[in-house]
Amino acid sequence: MIIEEHIFFFILFGFFGVALEVFCTSLSSFKNKKNDICLKGNSSIWMFFVYGFVYFIVLFVLNYFSDFHILLRGFAYMILFYSLEFTSGLFLKRCRVIPWNYSSDTKYNYKGIVRLDFAPLWFIGGLFSELMYVYIKAHLIF
């Protein structure tokens, strides 16, 4: 695989992740602010790099777990996404630039960095990321 392809997918996953985060936070602002129709979403430029790294998780799972059942691959994504969220969260917290804090959102958080109730989202999100990568890779010529 050539370096340009890795760069392309890192950037693609980074932009897609930030766009999805802005979309989801705008929907949650509508729900939490009593039907606020402004639908303001937010993210951080730091998240671009975190979401870009998801590409490498997808490569890892496809390289080592591609023959496994879809439920096992989904579980692998969930564990790896939690690992990424926690390690990047610790790093960003140490640098005092962490853009999220789950401490007040739910009792199902660990150190305000990860939310355990997001497990189904990480499971489905991982499988969707895999599907997106496989589809784009099959239709892309490098």
pLDDT of residue 79: 98
Identify which of 15, 9, 1, 81 has the alpha carbon closest to the alpha carbon of residue 47: 15
Tell me, what's the pLDDT at 33?
74
pLDDT band at residue 12 using 50, 70 and 90 as cut-offs: very high
| CA distances, 104 to each of 15, 68, 69, 125 (Å) | 28, 37, 36, 24
Q: What value does the mean pLDDT take over residues 135-142?
A: 85
Backbone angles phi, psi at 44, to 5 degrees: -140, 150
pLDDT (mean) for 14-29: 93
pLDDT at 28: 83
The pTM (predicted TM-score) of the whole model is 0.91
Are 61 and 73 in contact, with CB atoms under 8 Å apart?
A: yes
Confidence of residue 142 (pLDDT cuts 50, 70, 90): low
Average pLDDT over residues 95-124: 93
- 96-109 confidence digits (pLDDT tens): 999 999 998 788 99
pLDDT digits (tens, 9 = 90+) for 36-65: 788 888 899 999 999 999 999 999 999 999
Please state, in angstroms and rounded to a whole number, the distance separating the CA atoms of residues 2 and 9: 11
Vertex 105 angle, CA 91 and 39, to 5°: 95
Q: Which residue has the higher pLDDT, 118 or 31?
A: 118
